[in-house]
Amino acid sequence: MTTTSTDRFDPVEATVDDVRTAISDERITAEALVKRYLERIDAYDDDLNAILTVNDDALRRARRLDARFADEGPVGPLHGVPVILKDNQDTHDMPTTAGSVALAEARPARDAFIVERLREAGAIVLAKANLQELSFGVDTISSLGGETRNAYDLDRRPSGSSGGTAAAVAANMATIGTGTDTCSSVRSPPAFNALVGVRPTRGLVSRTGIVPLSDTQDTAGPIARTVADAARMLDVMAGYDPEDPVTARGADAVPDDGYVSHLDPDGLEDARIGILREWFGLQDETAAPKADAAAVTTVLEDAIADLRAAGATVVDPVEVVDGDTLRSARVVGFEFVREFDRYLAEHGGEIPYESLRELYETGSIAPAVASRIDDAGILDGDGESLDRNVDYLRRLQRRQRLENAVLARFVEEDLDAVMYPPSTVPPVERPDHQPFSELPCELAAHTGLPAIVVPAGSTDDGLPVGMELLGRRFAEPRLFEVAYSYEQATDHRRPPERFGDLEAS
C-alpha cells in the first residue's frame, strides 16, 4: 500500500466504516490518515484548545498497522481508526493528568482497561483531550489545559467534564473519542457539540485505570459523530474486567451479534417514548434567562414531533421520580476523596502525591475547580469511614429505591425510553459557568441506567441542542435502535463551519 492516493479520502465527518473501507480499498493508509488528523490539530487547536497531549507514537503505531494489514488484513473492528482519549484514562505511553499541572508528569505503567480494548481492536490513540480538572465540574477548565471552547461558538462553553473530547471530535480532529460520565460528562458535551454520547448501564464498561470521582456513578462511554460509531465503540469497550467486579453485572448483557446489529432505521416504529416534561424549561429561575430555556424547548418540541412522524407513540407527559428525592441521593461529595486517594495508592511511585488533600495543597488547581472543591466541602469528608456513615448509606438505599421506581414506571407505561433535555439551556458564554442545575443528569447517574444523547437540531443562534433518551437496565440495544432511527430520520449533525477542510481554509 502507498500514500499517493490520500487526496481521494476526506477525513471531515469520516466514520469508522468510512475509514475501514478506505483502508481496505487502498484509498488511504493508517499512517496517512493520522497525518491528516495531526495537521488538523496543528491548524485548529490553537482556537479550540481541546488537546492536552499528542501521542508521539501515533505515526509508528499507524505504520505497524499498515504493515500488519498488508500481511494479514485488519487486526480488529477499529483497525487504523484514530481516537482521542479524555485525559483521565491511563495510557502507558503518555501522561495521564486529569487536567492537573500537579500531575503533568504522571505516567501510569499500563493502559486503562478500555484503552487496552480500543488498541486491541486496532484503534490508534492520537491524542489526549482537556477536561474539567479532576472531572469535578461541567465547564472544561483545567490548570494544565486552560479553557476549552465550544466548536460551534468559541465564545461559549463546551460543557464538561469531557468537553475537550467533544470539541475535538466535533471539529474532526479524530474519528472517535472517549469520555467519562459521573453526572452529565458524556451527555452535555456531545449535546453542545452536535455529537452522540452514550452513558452505559453501570457494570457494562470497566473503570479500571480511570482517574475516579465516584465509585457508584463513574463510567466511561463513547463520544462520536454518529450513532453507528458509538455502537461500534461500545462493542469494543464493553466487557468483563476481573479488576472491576461491578462488570460482572454486565458480563452477559452484550449482544452476541454486537450493538451494531441493532442499528435499525425503523427502530422507532411501534416504540413508546415517554416525555419527562417536568425537566423542560428552567429548573432554577436564577440560573439563566427564560428565553435561553425556551430556545432549547422549541427545538425539543420539534424533536417530539419527529419521533411521532417516525412511528413512535409518544406518552406526554410521564412522571418518573420526584426531583427532591433524586437530589437527596447525591454521593459524590462522600466518595471523591476515598476514590481519588485509592487511585493514587494504586499508582504509588508513578504519581508524587498520596492524597487529594496533598494535591490540593500544592495550590496549582485551577481556581474555578478549587472553589468548587471548597464550596462542596470535599476535603472535610472521611472516606475511610463511609461504611459506617449513616447519611451516606441511606443515600445508597435511596438509589436502589429510585432505580426500582423508574423501572416500575417503564413497565407500567410499557416504555422503550424516556426523553428529556441533557441541558435545559444552551452553552453559556465564557467566562460564565455552565449552571449545573440545568443539566438533568442525575436520573441516569443515580440509578445506573443507560442513556444516549443524539443531536436534535440547533437554536436560531446556531447552537446545537441534544436529546437524551434513558432506557431500561442493560437495554442499550433498544436505545441504539431508537436513537439510530431518529438520527436517520432527521440528519441533524452538521460540522462546525470554522473547522472545515484544511484545503478550503
Question: Cβ–Cβ contacts within 10 Å for residue 482, how many?
Answer: 29
Task: Please report the beta strands in 211-271, taking only residues with DSSP state E, as ranges in sequence order.
Answer: 219-224
Give the position of cell 500514500: 3
CA dist., res. 478 & res. 483, Å (int):
9
**Which residue intervals of 125-261 are DSSP H helices?**
163-170, 188-192, 227-237
* HSE value, Cβ hemisphere, 13 Å, CA-based, for 350: 19
Q: Which of 142, 161, 214, 423 is catalytic?
A: 161
- CA 157 to chain centroid, in Å, comes to 16
* HSE value, Cβ hemisphere, 13 Å, CA-based, for 177: 38
Question: Cβ–Cβ contacts within 10 Å for residue 317, how many?
Answer: 14
Question: Cβ–Cβ contacts within 10 Å for residue 147, how many?
Answer: 17
CA dist., res. 364 & res. 167, Å (int):
25
Cβ neighbours for 300, distance < 8 A, ≥ 6 positions apart: 280, 419, 421, 456, 465, 467
CA dist., res. 203 & res. 219, Å (int):
8
Q: Is 135 a catalytic residue?
A: no
Q: Is 86 a catalytic residue?
A: yes
Query: Which amino acid type is present at position 393?
Result: L
CA dist., res. 286 & res. 425, Å (int):
12
Question: Cβ–Cβ contacts within 10 Å for residue 504, how many?
Answer: 6
Q: Which of 100, 143, 184, 185 is catalytic?
A: 185
Q: What residues does 89 pair with on adjacent strands?
A: 210
Give the residue among 55, 157, 147 at the shortest CA–CA distance from 96: 55
Cβ atoms of 462 and 153 within 8 Å: the answer is: yes
CA dihedral 29, 31, 37, 41 (to 10 degrees): -170
Which three three-digit cell numbers place residue 390? 449513616
- CA 233 to chain centroid, in Å, comes to 12
Q: ω into residue 317 within 30 of 0, thus cis?
A: yes
Q: What are the two backbone dihedrals, phi and then psi, of residue 224, each rounded to the nearest 5 degrees?
A: -150, 170
Give the position of cell 457494562: 204
Cβ atoms of 288 and 304 within 8 Å: the answer is: no
Q: Would you please indicate which residues are annotated as catalytic (active-site) residues? A: 86, 161, 185
